[in-house]
Amino acid sequence: MNDQIMYVNGREVKIENEENLLQLVRKANIEMPTFCYHSELSVYGACRLCIVDIEGRGICTSCTTKPENGMKIKTHTKQLRDIRKISIELLLANHDQSCQTCVKTASCKLQKLAGELGVDKVRFDKTESIKPLDLSSEALVRDPNKCILCGDCVRACYEIQDVGAIDFSNRGSSITVSPAFGKSLAEVECVDCGQCARVCPTGAITPKQHTEEVWNALADSKKIVIAQIAPAVRVAIGELFGIKPGSLMIGQIVTALKMMGFDKVFDTSFAADLTTIEETNEFINRLSKGEKLPLFTSCCPAWVKFAEQYHPELLNNLSTCKSPQQMFGAVVKEVLPEQTGIDKKDLVVVSIMPCTAKKVEANKSEFVKDGIKEVDFVITTQELASMIKESGINFEALSPESLDLPMGFKTGAGVIFGNSGGVSEAVLRYAYEKVNGTKLTKYDFSEVRGSESIRETSVKLNGTEVKLAIVSGLKNANELIRKINSGEAYYDIIEIMACPGGCIGGAGQPVTFDEGLKSERTKGLYDNDKMLQLHKSQENPYIQDLYKNLFSDPGSNHAHDLLHTSYQNRKRILHSELSIMSDNNAAEKIEVKVCIGTNCFIKKSQSLISQILKFVEEKELQHCIDVNATFCMEKCGEGPNVLVDGIHIKECTLNKTVEVINNRLSKLKTRQVEI
């Protein structure tokens, strides 16, 4: 078959497997400007920056046009350059231009493209008024004044996470991106993963900063400040200092933290080893009894919140183990005060994480005991880098220092927790030896590794086949859960990470739009595993000492009190109702509230609302009945749920509703009605 070719600016370019002209042009070493194009998201064509001039067709967006044999295109004619510059100028005209103080300044695409396209002035007047910031979330800050309406955040929330916490609202010049019904991020179904912030090209959505609180703790002479460093941070922070992606920088991080004033620097991988022991024993116990399977991992707080919001029927299947972050905080605040004489309230634990959801997790009420949090502050990889720069520390020139003992010691199993599949592999390294009673000579379980978003494998444990699934991205988790619920698939243990690729792709990591860069981070953690002397959590001598001196056995009463947690169904939209039918002139009226939360909606609550409205109108009861839609009654397993004057009706139908309404009408001395 003859090769197919195109002509890009008069030069031949071979057509291979390119899906669109944008990919082909970039293959020809021409970098086309884009805001809305991401290889992991659907093609959108909204920003109109990647336009090309196609001979015989005119100007088209390259991201939405397929290559064709013999096609001739130009990428930088005067007309194309002028259109791009005007587009950038229009965006800048209504953009908050406080670039010097914006946290996204070093990675802002708008700023970068304005410079590259030669935009040195803005000729258009600002027309929009200043909008308030949304500071409600502990994970994220939303600044609508910096939004360029590219839609990247909306698509990430829908297409990667299947959540849809934000979307376009209004029309024309009033269009904006916001949570549902004008609510704040903290009031809606956001799971705090921050993937919207990861793809946002400007500073419209960014991880919330908590560095000032950490500086204040370091400045307080009464406080002992301890850091824990998550596995994924060590292979990504170097990118913010011009160091090759995937480079292991844990020693330099320790040095920098000590120079900033941290008293002790430990490793979250130590707690990951502890999590492996607890979770594996929990899994083996469930497997032996054949109950509460499949076991879902619980290390990722965004996944846990997603399950609590959308799949309350699965909460008994979640591992009761706390995440490594919270296990670490719980152990440190249990052990160090007793060992050192430090008052627990003067012990400050700072987590350095790749994740924005960890910020919310640390503030959950179940992780606060006697008014003292297990983890006091969470900062991201990005925030750590900003603190290092603020300190004037020449990070790339630092000599490495070692982590403190005992909680700075870890095995390779704890380190690979930062990759999708890492938790499963760590569990297998322990479960295989514990169940089979034989020592592993080869510790790698490469079958759980890979870049696919959904992977599955099986292993034999004492003759029993155990099926595993590894998932990254909550939309993929939803698809897998659907198959399990329908009987299409069965697994014994399922690992779920909200961020693509696992923690290495967290929203707190250095901003990148290069998928190959995330692969380097993944490789860095597996290389780190190989460099360590121990590769199985059960071999960690300090974990063994912890059980000997504190917990006795995995899953013991004390271990369960300190290292395990419970889950609950959580509201998606707080304190919200939509009034559908109301007569404000009625002296006394019956309130009917119909839940339209996800589970009730699936069980046809919307249809039930229509039936109730029709009934009220036909019987001319508008004067004494208000009908409202509400968003969660936290009884998802009993839906559709309806409240009539506070009386809860589970598995509700129109007949059940009318029966309760008639009872209420009789008390109001009003005529009763029939369907």
**pLDDT at 635 (0 to 100):** 77
* Domain boundary, last residue among 536, 563, 590: 563
According to DSSP, the β-strands at 58-61 and 72-74 are unpaired
Asked whether residue 674 is domain-assigned, the answer is no
Same domain assignment for residues 342 and 248: yes
pLDDT classification of 571: cutoffs 50, 70, 90 = low
Asked whether residue 403 is domain-assigned, the answer is no
Dist CA 91 CA 144 (whole Å): 13
- What CATH number does the domain containing 528 carry? 3.40.950.10
State the catalytic residue, choosing from 146, 183, 358, 359: 358
Q: What is the mean pLDDT of residues 217-242?
A: 97
Q: Has 47 been annotated as catalytic? A: no
- What CATH number does the domain containing 177 carry? 3.30.70.20
Same domain assignment for residues 263 and 364: yes
Q: What is the mean pLDDT of residues 565-570?
A: 87
State the catalytic residue, choosing from 12, 55, 366, 396: 366
Dist CA 204 CA 147 (whole Å): 5
Before 337, cis peptide (omega within 30)?
no
pLDDT classification of 196: cutoffs 50, 70, 90 = very high
**pLDDT at 433 (0 to 100):** 93
Q: Over the stretch 64-112, which tens digit does the pLDDT of each residue have?
A: 999 999 999 999 999 999 999 999 888 888 888 888 888 888 888 888 8
Q: Has 651 been annotated as catalytic? A: no
Q: What is the mean pLDDT of residues 485-502?
A: 95
Worst-scoring range by mean pLDDT, 13-22, 88-97, 226-235, 286-295?
A: 88-97
Q: What is the mean pLDDT of residues 271-278?
A: 97
**pLDDT at 637 (0 to 100):** 76
Inform me whether the pLDDT recorded for 492 exceeds 80.
yes
Same domain assignment for residues 650 and 548: no
Inform me whether the pLDDT recorded for 293 exceeds 60.
yes
Question: Residue 253: which domain range?
Answer: 211-372+382-398+411-563
Inform me whether the pLDDT recorded for 672 exceeds 70.
no
pLDDT classification of 577: cutoffs 50, 70, 90 = low
Q: Has 358 been annotated as catalytic? A: yes
State the catalytic residue, choosing from 269, 319, 351, 453: 319
Same domain assignment for residues 224 and 165: no
pLDDT classification of 638: cutoffs 50, 70, 90 = confident
Residue with tokens 């909008």: 131
Instruction: Count CB-CB contacts under 10 A for residue 184.
Output: 16
Asked whether residue 339 is domain-assigned, the answer is yes
Q: Over the stretch 331-343, which tens digit does the pLDDT of each residue have?
A: 999 999 988 888 9
Before 201, cis peptide (omega within 30)?
no
Dist CA 234 CA 252 (whole Å): 9
Six-digit token pair at 547? 């059980």
Inform me whether the pLDDT recorded for 668 exceeds 80.
no
Q: What is the mean pLDDT of residues 299-325?
A: 95
Same domain assignment for residues 218 and 308: yes
Q: Has 200 been annotated as catalytic? A: no
pLDDT classification of 631: cutoffs 50, 70, 90 = confident
Same domain assignment for residues 337 and 262: yes
* Residue 174 DSSP symbol: G
State the catalytic residue, choosing from 138, 282, 520, 539: 282
Average predicted confidence (pLDDT) for the chain: 91
Which residue(s) pair with 458 in the sheet? 467
Inform me whether the pLDDT recorded for 153 exceeds 70.
yes
Same domain assignment for residues 142 and 121: yes
Q: Has 452 been annotated as catalytic? A: no
Domains of the chain: total: 4
Q: Count the helix, strand and coil residues of the chain and give each as a percent rounded to the nearest 5.
A: 45, 15, 40
- Cα torsion for 515, 521, 527, 529, to the nearest 10°? -120
Q: Has 153 been annotated as catalytic? A: no
State the catalytic residue, choosing from 50, 150, 299, 355: 299
Six-digit token pair at 390? 């603020």
Three-state DSSP at 355 gives coil
Q: Which residues contact 331 (CB under 8 A, 6 or more apart)?
A: 271, 274, 407, 546, 550, 562, 563
**pLDDT at 574 (0 to 100):** 53
Inform me whether the pLDDT recorded for 441 exceeds 80.
yes
pTM: 0.83
State the catalytic residue, choosing from 193, 499, 503, 624: 503
Q: Over the stretch 16-49, which tens digit does the pLDDT of each residue have?
A: 989 999 999 999 999 989 988 887 788 887 888 9
Closest by alpha carbon to 317, among 279, 355, 357, 358? 279
Asked whether residue 351 is domain-assigned, the answer is yes
Q: Over the stretch 476-487, which tens digit does the pLDDT of each residue have?
A: 999 999 999 999
Q: What is the mean pLDDT of residues 172-199?
A: 90
Dist CA 643 CA 649 (whole Å): 6
Inform me whether the pLDDT recorded for 582 exceeds 70.
no
**pLDDT at 208 (0 to 100):** 97
Closest by alpha carbon to 294, among 503, 493, 11? 493
Asked whether residue 406 is domain-assigned, the answer is no
Inform me whether the pLDDT recorded for 675 exceeds 80.
no
Dist CA 28 CA 58 (whole Å): 21
**pLDDT at 393 (0 to 100):** 97
* Domain boundary, last residue among 157, 182, 207: 207
Same domain assignment for residues 276 and 367: yes
Inform me whether the pLDDT recorded for 576 exceeds 60.
no
Same domain assignment for residues 603 and 460: no
* Domain boundary, last residue among 172, 207, 242: 207
Q: Has 128 been annotated as catalytic? A: no
**pLDDT at 169 (0 to 100):** 87
Q: What 3 state SS string does 434-475 have?
A: HHHCCCCCCCCCHHHCCCCCEEEEEEEECCEEEEEEEEECHH
Dist CA 374 CA 367 (whole Å): 6
Q: What 3 state SS string does 494-537 have?
A: EEEECCCCCHHHCCCCCCCCCHHHHHHHHHHHHHHHHHCCCCCH
Q: Which residues contact 640 (CB under 8 A, 6 or more apart)?
A: 594, 595, 600, 603, 604, 605, 608, 651, 652
**pLDDT at 100 (0 to 100):** 82
Between the two ends of the chain, the Cα-to-Cα distance in Å is 71
Same domain assignment for residues 182 and 215: no
Q: Has 299 been annotated as catalytic? A: yes
Q: Which residues contact 459 (CB under 8 A, 6 or more apart)?
A: 428, 432, 445, 465, 466, 468
Same domain assignment for residues 154 and 70: no
State the catalytic residue, choosing from 138, 239, 278, 361: 361
**pLDDT at 673 (0 to 100):** 62
Inform me whether the pLDDT recorded for 176 exceeds 70.
yes
Dist CA 162 CA 248 (whole Å): 33
